[in-house]
Structure 1
Amino acid sequence: MKNIKFTELELKDTVLKAMDDMGFETPSEIQSASIPVIMEGFDIIGQAQTGTGKTCAFGAPIISKIDISKKSVQALILTPTRELAIQIYEELRRLSKYDRVRSLPIYGGQSMDRQISGIKKDVSIIVGTPGRVLDHIRRKTLKLGDLNYLVLDEADEMLNMGFIDDIEEIIKSTNSERQTLLFSATMPRQIKKLAENYLKEDVRHIQILKKSLTVSKIEQYYYEIHNNARLESLCRILDIDAPESAIIFCRTKKSVDELVSAMSSKGYNIEGMHGDMKQNQRLSTLSKFKNGHLTFLAATDVAARGIDVENITHVINYELPQDTESYVHRIGRTGRANKSGTAISLVTKKEFIKLRQIEKDIKSKITKKTVPTIQDIINIKSKNIVTKVTSILDTEEYKKFEPIIEDLSKEYSLTQIAAALLKNTLDKEISTESNDDSLNVENSVRLFMSIGRRDGINIKSLLEFIDHTSNVNSNYIGSIDILDKFSFVDVNENKVPLVLENTSGKKFNDRRVNIEVAKNKN
């Protein structure tokens, strides 16, 4: 099967022509293994990782077999997230470029009336999230009695998101003679039970070994950090590595929001993506990231499903994932198309056991690195500035500024002037005031602040408030927890007196803020 061609898979000529337009050359492993079996009419259980070409594996044969003379929905594709639903829909639309097969994505956050109107327009394929599909079934605006094909894509992720009951209810609303195609990266017990209950006895099992999502071209590193210094450690690493495009993974939606606020306040070009964000915002963020207008994308594992972006240079585990499968999924988003990539994980001492288990599972060494000191960053950035200055000196572009320097040289030496200009440039990128190159932010004190969400405070505005009132910048701030009526902030112990003396008693949004050392971390 290694040298098989698409033309040998009995797909429609129009589909083959569309695939040729899309730049498809030879089938991937999951495509060459699945397409012939699907074309023969068997149910399948396909176990393969993200990024292996599953959409074409089920989309090409379904479009080839759709009967366009029928006016009912013939195929339903269930997927865990809106982003993945849209991505699948877009690929199906390209695959059916030369056919009259209409597809429609349906998901939460979009107008119900608009979706109902779309379903009535002789749609052959529905791509949707379980919750919204079930809404339509219950409203009787989506009827699946004539369904020929049911696809459960990323089944394990739908299980993790709590959709298992919805999926079973949807399946019971379909034609029992349908062909069912189940794809999942992992096969937990509930997915196996689902397959036993709803797939035919002659189901075909197709497993693409994990080696198909190799990490061989991905350089993997970890940094041992203190939990309170997680943000500062990340920023220093980014300043040294200077990624062109990076996904930063967090475990929770709250972590994504906090990271985006904190990094934005430091001047990083970052936005976040998670399930609680409005659909338009998520699509806008993804578009900017794809087009290179956004350097950093902070995301949860679920929100990142369906993100198919080339040229991601770095994947960063701001927080380690729960299991090895998720780790492989994450880092597999870099180093694609035979390109190299870098995976970075921030790890506390308590997480070493988990890290060692990941190394054991992937049979690969994750190399330890030391978090850069501020002096390291100054040295690297100074070197870059000197390189740029040297290139400018090779031209005539600097001459119009000579009179300014000549005037300054009457009072200062050229060395002093150059050093001052270098400091001015570096001050815009890093804090050169800190002498704490050891990053010993763990020695921090937890402060109670008498303002919370109801007062309009967020992480960014809180950091700006402290910086403005006591000249303590975010490098000295650790964990921040903003609640409804009050907040907790971890502050470097050496800076606590400044915050208590200068910030406490000041007003934020016309409300006086009381600050005191917290009694405990609760």
Structure 2
Amino acid sequence: MEQWRMLGVPDVIIKALVDQNFNSPTVIQSLTLPPAILGRRDILGAAETGSGKTLAFGIPIINGILEIKEKHKNEIIVNEKNQNVGWQCSDIDDNIEDIEPEHAEEEDLSEVNLDENGIGCVRVINNIEIDEYPGIQDLQMKNVDKSKCKPLYALILTPTRELAVQIKNHLVSAAKYTDIKIAVLMGGMAAVKQERILSKGPEIVIATPGRLWELLDEGNLHLSQIDSVRFLAIDETDRMLEKGHFQELQKLIERINANGKKARDRQIFVFSATLTMVHDIPDYLMKKKQRHVKSKIFKLTPGQKLQKIIEMLNIKKPKIVDLTKGSGTAESLTECRIACTFDHKDYYLYYFLKRHAGRTLIFCNSIGCVKRLATLFSILECNPLPLHAGMQQRQRLKNLERFQADDNGVLIATDVAARGLDIPNVEHVIHYQVPRTSESYVHRSGRTARAQKEGITVLMMEPSEKQNYSKLCKTLGRTEDIPTFPIVDRLLIAVKERVDVARDIDKLELKCRRDNAQKGWLKKAIEDMDMIVDDEQVDSSMETKEAADLKRQLKARKNRLASLLSKPLFPKGFSGRYLDMNLNLNVTDNENKAIDIMKKIIEENPKKAKRKMTVVKRTPIKNINRNTKIKKKRLNK
């Protein structure tokens, strides 16, 4: 507790932190909490994923709100002498009793001289602190009940819905022994329910930009105070502030900075694992720059990127804390890659999942890829859980909970799961497709090797992804290839057979769904035309020979796959189909984890593991022939 107390953290927060076994602060927290709490500095923090950035801005916000509320508790709202200290012009329609009923009885309305328009002078008590209650003047004009004039002290913006929920959970736990109310606003959930939550006046609002702007644009009274918030935090800022992302965020920033006086008193927190990372100009912008000589498009330096954020958010007293290294990833993270052709990625992915048990997170670049992999690996009985922006929010959160509850769970996701999510004990992160930016690679890989734990990230790449891979290595300062993950190619024959049968089943099921949809359309058309036809006649007319053959093929494929899945995939001493006397590998033993195997290879053969940057095209599996020594040599090489 003394370590936290030395940083300026109050005991009421320390007690909640100890309950969560946060017995000592992390490095980023040790460097940011003193200037934030004791010096009230604006913080720009960059640290590796899993380093505790959420509490680095959450604790100062909670502490600041507690100080403000304590200050209000000790202030004397009414001047004891009730002296007439000033006059101002006011609209007579204002209902004094609705604003300050305890003083309305003392008000001598006979002293108010009205003109023909009903406007006069009323006495004002100047020692009432309305600055700490943002937006109260607007609420007075609308004759809102006093209970609805609760202040909004802090606003936290995040790029994804799941991250917003996670931040809320962290802050609720840290404010466990306080009376601070926290609300989360995000798309995919009922807006009416969120408006009902806002009517209770939460002091902290955590939101995604789209839903926040929607409710603000509709005139929500509690959110109308955002230009007067005392604390503003933006998590995973680099992507949110990029041009073309989150158009609502630019409008929100303009609205927040509308009140210049309040902006000067505001404390701002900006955090991201890639805050100081810059990447090359995209190809389409580079072509535009080449066409126009006077183009202002240029690559930012880390200092220019930070300066742009400072100017955009109107930061006055910045304290920059950068703990990121050149690689951008955690020291406890082991990186490797698998080079293969496009058609063989499914084989290597299935091989990895069956060979190395553990909680695995698979990233794709598109929703279509997530859906295809989820369907294919469901057929292979790997029980994958999809996660992408096209799903309902309730299902997204449900899949996350299921993934966290399963020690050998498989989650297939787009980049909505890449930033900020703290999923415990993720052992493997697999990039099924090379990410388009180095920031995405760092954030994806950061879902493992969190809080000083070890983890492995595997980059699956095909020749057409060479350009993205080269850009990634260049941005991360890599002059050598990422080490290659070891795969026993002779064991892939059994893997290939299973995956191919599953692919056939997927295609046949798709055809069956299309036929059923056509059948349903025909029935609906008959009903719309008020035709009377026997159901047996309709079924017999649509039950063609092709449909019957399709069902037989599907049944045969399913039986074949069930037979394959009932047998061990990697029997000891066998390569899957042929007896191999030279294979000394106990492939049924999963005690050797993927990270241990990779670390051992790097330690034993550091030169072989790291080569000059090239893209290796693996020998196609269909060319594996046990009778051809030349092909075996090429494969082993």
TM-score by length of 1: 0.70
1:9 aligns with 2:7: yes
Q: Distance in 2 between matches of 1:334 and 1:49?
A: 11
Q: Does the 8 A contact of 2:209 with 2:246 survive in 1? A: no
**Structure 2: distance between partners of 1:234 and 1:123:** 46
* 3-state SS of paired residue (2:457): strand
- 2:236 is aligned to 154
Structure 2 unmatched runs, 5+? 73-132, 134-149, 257-261, 279-299, 519-549, 562-619, 623-637
- Out of 144, 150, 170, the residue aligned to residue 252 of structure 2 is 170
Aligned-CA RMSD value: 3.6
Secondary structure of the corresponding residue to residue 63 of structure 2: helix
1:302 maps to what in 2? 416
Q: What's the CA shift for 1:124?
A: 0.4
What secondary structure, in the 3-state scheme, does the structure 1 residue paired with 2:228 have? coil
**Amino acid in the other structure paired with 1:79:** T
C-alpha spacing 1:235/1:349, structure 2 compared with 1 (3 Å): same
SS at 1:344's partner residue?
Answer: strand
Equivalent residue runs for 1:184-263 within 5 Å: 184=272, 185-187=274-276, 192-210=307-325, 214-240=329-355, 242-263=356-377
**Distance of 2:18 and 2:511 partners within structure 1:** 63
User: Residues 52 and 213 of structure 1 are in contact (CA less than 8 Å); yes or no, is this contact kept in structure 2?
Assistant: no
Secondary structure of the 2:5 match is: helix
Question: How far, CA to CA, are the matches of 1:283 and 1:194 in structure 2?
Answer: 31
Structure number with the higher strand fraction is 1
The code of the aligned residue for 2:483 comes to: T
Residues 41/258 of structure 1: CA separation in 2 closer, same or farther (3 Å cut): same
Pairs within 5 Å for 1:303-322: 303-322=417-436
- What is the deviation of 1:27? 1.9
Secondary structure of the structure 2 residue equivalent to 1:46:
strand
SS in 1 for 2:484: strand
3-state SS in 2 of match to 1:5? helix
Which is further off, 324-333 or 92-101?
Answer: 324-333
Correspondence 1:468 to 2:554: yes
* Deviation for aligned residue 1:341: 2.1
Contact 1:256–1:300 (CA under 8 A) maintained in structure 2: yes
Contact 1:236–1:372, Cα closer than 8 Å, also in 2: no
Residue of structure 1 in register with 2:594 after alignment = none
Q: What is the rounded CA distance, in whole Å, between the counterparts of 1:217 and 1:42 in structure 2?
A: 31
Secondary structure of the residue that 1:368 maps to in structure 2? Answer: coil
Q: CA deviation at 1:345?
A: 1.7
Deviates more, 1:3-12 or 1:292-301: 3-12
Q: What is the match of residue 64 of structure 2?
A: 65
Q: Would you say 1:179 and 2:267 are equivalent positions?
A: yes
**Deviation readout 1:190-224 (Å, 9 max, x if unpaired):** 77434213323432222122369654433332222
After superposing the two structures, state which structure 1 stretch, 265-274 or 169-178, moved more: 169-178
Q: Report if the CA contact (8 A) 1:155-1:191 is conserved.
A: no
Are residues 219 and 199 of structure 1, via their aligned partners in 2, closer, same or farther at CA, if it must alter by over 3 Å? same
Structure 1 position 247, deviation (Å): 0.2
- Is contact 1:149–1:179 with CA below 8 Å preserved after alignment? yes
Shift of 1:293: 6.5
Give me the whole-angstrom Cα distance separating, in 2, the residues matched to 1:466 and 1:340.
48
Q: Choose which of 435, 450, 457 in structure 2 pairs with 1:343.
A: 457
Give the aligned partner of residue 400 of structure 2. Answer: 286
Matching of residues 76-95 of structure 1 within 5 Å: 76-95=155-174
Match of 1:35 among 21, 33, 44: 33
Aligned: 1:134 with 2:249:
no
1:334-373 per-residue CA deviation (whole Å, 9 max, x = no partner) reads 2334433222221112334544554562657522246544
1:327 maps onto 2:441 in alignment: yes
- The one-letter amino acid of 2:18's match is D
State the Cα distance separating 1:291 from its structure 2 match.
1.0
Aligned partner of 1:367 in structure 2 is 483
Separation in structure 2 between the aligned mates of residue 373 and residue 454 of structure 1, nearest angstrom: 39
Deviations 1:18-71 (A, max 9, x none): 111111122222212221222222222222333221110011011011034562
Q: How many angstroms does 1:329 deviate by?
A: 2.2
Q: Distance in 2 between matches of 1:432 and 1:170?
A: 52
Aligned residue type for 2:275: T
Aligned to 1:511: none
Q: Which moved more, 1:334-343 or 1:11-20?
A: 334-343
Contact 1:236 1:373 in 2 (8 A): no
d(CA) in 2 for partners of 1:332 and 1:342?
10
User: Could you tell which deviates more after superposition, 153-162 or 250-259?
Assistant: 153-162
SS at 1:236 equivalent: helix
- 8 Å Cα contact 1:156-1:191 kept in structure 2: no
Report the structure number with the largest CA radius of gyration.
2
1:436-492 CA-partner distances (Å, limit 9, x unpaired):
9xxxx9xxxx99x989879659xxxxxx97951774989xxxxxxxxxxxxxxxxx9
Counterpart of 1:168, as a letter, is: Q
Structure 1 residues 467 and 215, CA, compared in 2 at 3 Å: closer, same or farther? farther
Partner Cα separation in structure 1 for residue 407 and residue 358 of structure 2: 11
Structure 1, unaligned stretches of length 5 or more?
A: 379-428, 458-463, 475-491, 495-522
Distance 1:238 1:330 in 2: 18
Task: Report if aligned partners of 1:130, 1:166 keep a CA contact under 8 Å in 2.
Answer: yes
Identity of aligned residues (%): 30
TM-score by length of 2: 0.58
1:113 match: 192
Q: 1:232 to 1:432 in 2, by over 3 A?
A: closer
**Matches of 2:348 and 2:394 in 1, distance apart?**
32
- Counterpart CA distance in 2 for 1:77 and 1:289 is 26
CA distance in 2, matches of 1:176, 1:215: 35
SS at match of 1:367: coil
Change (3 A) 1:131 1:294: farther
Q: Deviations over 1:263-299 (max 9, x none)?
A: 1111112011111211110111000111117610011
* 3-state SS, counterpart of residue 194 of structure 2: helix
Distance of aligned partners of 1:105 and 1:454 in 2 relative to their CA distance in 1, 3 Å threshold: farther
Equivalent position of 1:501 in the other structure? none
Secondary structure of 2:45's aligned partner: strand
Residue 48 of structure 2: aligned partner: 49
Q: Deviations over 1:142-189 (max 9, x none)?
A: 122431011111112324694443222212323423222222323565
Question: CA 1:288–1:42 in structure 2 vs 1: closer, same or farther (change >3 Å)?
Answer: same
In 1, the alpha carbon distance for the partners of 2:515 and 2:6 equals: 63
Deviation (angstroms), 1:137: 1.3
